[in-house]
């Protein structure tokens, strides 16, 4: 598969890079010291400027606030804007841009598209994904949040967990149980829920990093109109698979750009430590680790582009996307572990001490990375998917 871009596409990339450099100032701080509220405010500012500049929703129609561009141009936009997005707001609305937006465009009614898509593209609304439950994580089809239908309203009762940035979100993508049946996925319905609705309680979860991006969401007799259903009743599993496919396919393009940025930062750290300690860059073991990281990073990038090109052709990435999920989690671990091992005696220092390296960025990053082998689908589950559905191996 040829991953090269045409001359026209590269001209588009050059124009976009110039616009980004002149539109957004550069921040020098390594540490993420912003509150959730500050991130949400920065996101809305950033996304509004993208929208006004014509760089939001590249492949979506102008009638819905898009630019009537191509998916190839959207891939280029995701690659070039990823470092800016990470710098400003740490992907506070990844659920809106990578999941809600393509899912509503794929499965939503015309009224839903007109009600939600422009407000996602211009930064007005922030979204959260509410799929997982305390007893339904990797086995998502076991979810039990009930939705009893009363006339034209679903009444929701139950709990969701691990919803990123839900405390700042306006709307949520919510999977509910509308029928107790076998197989389990046959009774799932997909709803758009206003997270400011009466009966919803959102509780941030304190993480090992000291931050609280993840949340529990409690639903107590929450009323949701049937007009907010995506797809048919009891057939939400099909729509959810599409959402997960978009998250992995287009999300991998964004993540690949973030990894390239991290690799550059890691090289700067290595050079700084060389000047300070006198051995990092010339040490053969660290050279090998850096080379291995780069190779794995490029494999992840190629697989991500392959998934994106499937979407260009109108397909949703299949079970092979689990390979990139494994690579994604491993890369996060290996980036942070390599950076910390380079630091020698300064490795355990996770603060703004004069002895710390990069203001403790990599130590904080490692704490965050520890949970990524669980988030988005556990490593063991992903390996089973690859074995059974990609390689065709028998169940053990």
Q: Could you report the per-residue pLDDT of 236-248, keeping only the tens digit for each? A: 999 998 888 777 7
Residue 219 to residue 113: CA distance in whole angstroms: 25
Q: Which residues contact 72 (CB under 8 A, 6 or more apart)?
A: 5, 9, 312
**pLDDT for the residue numbered 4:** 72
Residue 129 to residue 162: CA distance in whole angstroms: 9
Position 30 pLDDT exceeds 50: no
Residue 138 to residue 10: CA distance in whole angstroms: 40
pLDDT band of 86, cuts 50, 70, 90: confident
Position 83 pLDDT exceeds 70: yes
**pLDDT for the residue numbered 29:** 47
End-to-end CA distance of the chain: 34
Residue 225 located in a structural domain: yes
pLDDT, the chain, mean: 88
Mean pLDDT score, 11-26 = 91
Residue 13 located in a structural domain: yes
Q: CA 168 → CA 39, 191, 202, 240, distances in Å?
A: 9, 19, 10, 22
**pLDDT for the residue numbered 356:** 81
Mean pLDDT score, 292-318 = 82
More confident residue, 316 or 53: 53
Residue 276 located in a structural domain: yes
* Total domains, the chain: 3
Query: End of a domain among 234, 258, 287?
Result: 234
Strand partners, 146: 157, 177
Residue-number span of the structural domain to which 315 is assigned: 238-390
- Please count the CA atoms within 13 angstroms of the CA of 335 that sit on its side-chain side: 30
Q: Which residues contact 156 (CB under 8 A, 6 or more apart)?
A: 145, 146, 147, 174, 176, 191, 193, 199, 219, 221, 222, 223, 224
Residue 395 located in a structural domain: no
Residues 187 and 245 occupy one common structural domain = no
Residue 396 located in a structural domain: no
Task: Decide: helix, strand or coil at residue 386.
Answer: helix
> Is pTM, for the whole model, over 0.85?
yes
**pLDDT for the residue numbered 377:** 75
Residues 59 and 137 occupy one common structural domain = no
What CATH number is given to the structural domain containing 358? 1.20.140.10
Most confident range (mean pLDDT) of 227-231, 260-264, 347-351 is: 227-231
Residues 343 and 367 occupy one common structural domain = yes
């Amino acid at each position: 598969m040829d991953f090269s871009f045409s001359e026209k596409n590269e001209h588009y990339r050059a124009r976009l890079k110039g616009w980004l450099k002149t539109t957004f100032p550069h921040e020098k701080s390594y540490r993420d010291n912003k509150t959730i509220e500050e991130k949400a405010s920065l996101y809305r500012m950033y996304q509004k400027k993208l929208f006004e500049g014509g760089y939001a929703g590249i492949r979506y129609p102008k009638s819905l606030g898009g630019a009537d561009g191509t998916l190839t141009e959207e891939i280029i936009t995701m690659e070039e804007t990823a470092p800016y997005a990470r710098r400003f707001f740490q992907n506070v609305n990844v659920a809106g841009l990578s999941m809600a937006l393509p899912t509503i465009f794929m499965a939503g009614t015309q009224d839903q598209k007109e009600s939600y898509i422009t407000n996602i593209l211009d930064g007005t609304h922030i979204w959260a994904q509410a799929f997982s439950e305390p007893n339904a994580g990797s086995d998502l089809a076991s979810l039990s949040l009930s939705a009893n239908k009363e006339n034209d309203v679903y009444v929701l009762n139950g709990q969701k967990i691990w919803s990123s940035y839900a405390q700042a979100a306006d709307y949520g993508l919510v999977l509910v149980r509308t029928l107790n049946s076998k197989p389990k996925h046959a009774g799932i319905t997909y709803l758009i829920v206003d997270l400011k609705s009466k009966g919803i309680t959102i509780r941030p979860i304190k993480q090992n990093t000291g931050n609280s991006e993840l949340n529990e969401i409690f639903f107590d007799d929450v009323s949701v109109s049937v007009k907010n259903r995506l797809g048919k009743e009891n057939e939400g599993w099909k729509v959810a698979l599409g959402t997960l496919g978009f998250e992995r396919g287009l999300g991998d393009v964004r993540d690949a750009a973030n990894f390239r940025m991290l690799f550059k930062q890691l090289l700067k750290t290595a050079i700084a430590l060389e000047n300070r300690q006198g051995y990092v860059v010339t040490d053969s073991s660290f050279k090998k680790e850096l080379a291995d990281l780069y190779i794995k990073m490029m494999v992840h990038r190629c697989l991500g582009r392959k998934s994106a090109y499937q979407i260009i052709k109108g397909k949703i990435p299949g079970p092979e996307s689990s390979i990139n999920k494994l690579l994604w989690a491993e890369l996060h671990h290996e980036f942070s572990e390599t950076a910390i091992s380079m630091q020698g005696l300064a490795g355990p220092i996770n603060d703004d001490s004069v002895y710390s390296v990069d203001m403790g960025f990599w130590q904080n990053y490692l704490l965050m990375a520890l949970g990524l082998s669980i988030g988005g689908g556990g490593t063991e589950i992903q390996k089973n998917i690859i074995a059974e559905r990609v390689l065709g191996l028998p169940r053990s």
